[in-house]
Amino acid sequence: MQIATWNINSIRQRTEHLLRYLDEVAPDIVCLQELKCTDDAFPFAAIEAKGYHAAVHGQKGFNGVAILSKQPIEVKCGLPGDSTDEHARYVEGVIDSEIGRLRIVSLYLPNGNPPDTDKYTYKLAWMDRLIAHASTLLQCEELLVLAGDYNVIPMPGDCYDPAVWATDALFLPPTRARFRSLLNLGFTNALRAVSDEPGLYTFWDYQAGAWQRNKGICIDHLLLSPQAVDHLQHVVIDKERRGEDKPSDHVPVRVTLA
């Protein structure tokens, strides 16, 4: 089975991009981030016509996450740990897949910039909550995939020029340390399980010809539990999607579990 994650950067502006992807690639599950719409504005009918169920946790104007699945989804919205957090950044579903009962998460981790503001404090606190919840989920010893836009550059090889990102919230030591803490719970970063090659990017800014000059970063990740990584076969970055007309600044990352 194939599981993809994609920061779509406005589902209403890129519904046709998504529908083409569902037609041409047809993953079994697609985790979406940055929907930038409320639930009632989500294109359920068009996606259901392609054979997918949709679990959506939307928000007007920004944030928003979803899980699309060819199989029905049992869904919970919101990351535990802070009842005052109203940001739509986390949706968790359970699917009876061809490889067994699978728990799948679509997450959109806060950007955190500028780092000398409350935005970075919120990012780190959100990561701490994610670590705590993920630790609890791992105790179930089930197939588990945490997929999404982490807004984390884990290693120097995950960006075109580490010096450029040295003071950015995506690459600061506390950010990377928390990402390592998440991995150290027992997760495997799917992409790095199959390749240690530098320059494997998932995001290119719209500015300054970043796409044309391949000035990218890798911030979209799929983390697999020990039970899920046993099924890992392939990882693909669907880089060609960045060359479409009016694309998202992110591209899908796709794993095959068998």
Known binding residue 34? Answer is yes
- Active-site residue set: 108, 149, 250
Cα maximum dimension of the chain: 46
Cross-strand pairs, 4: 30, 254
Spatial distance between the Cα atoms of 82 and 80, rounded to a whole number of angstroms = 6
Known binding residue 250? Answer is yes
Q: Report how far apart, in Å, the C-alpha atoms of 114 and of each of 111, 172, 186, 197, 248 are.
A: 9, 11, 31, 30, 22
- Closest by CA to 47, choosing from 25, 72, 68, 26, is 68
Spatial distance between the Cα atoms of 92 and 78, rounded to a whole number of angstroms = 8
Compute mean pLDDT per 10 residues along the chain, 258 residues long, and list them. Answer: 98 98 98 98 98 97 97 97 97 96 98 98 98 98 98 97 97 98 98 95 95 97 98 98 98 98
* pLDDT, position 208: 86
Domains and CATH numbers, the chain: 2-257 (3.60.10.10)
* pLDDT, position 218: 98
Residue pair 73/55 in contact by the 8 Å Cβ criterion: yes
Parallel, antiparallel or unpaired: strands 65-69 and 232-237: unpaired
Known binding residue 184? Answer is no
* pLDDT, position 166: 97
Q: Count other Cβ atoms within 10 Å, centred on residue 105.
A: 25
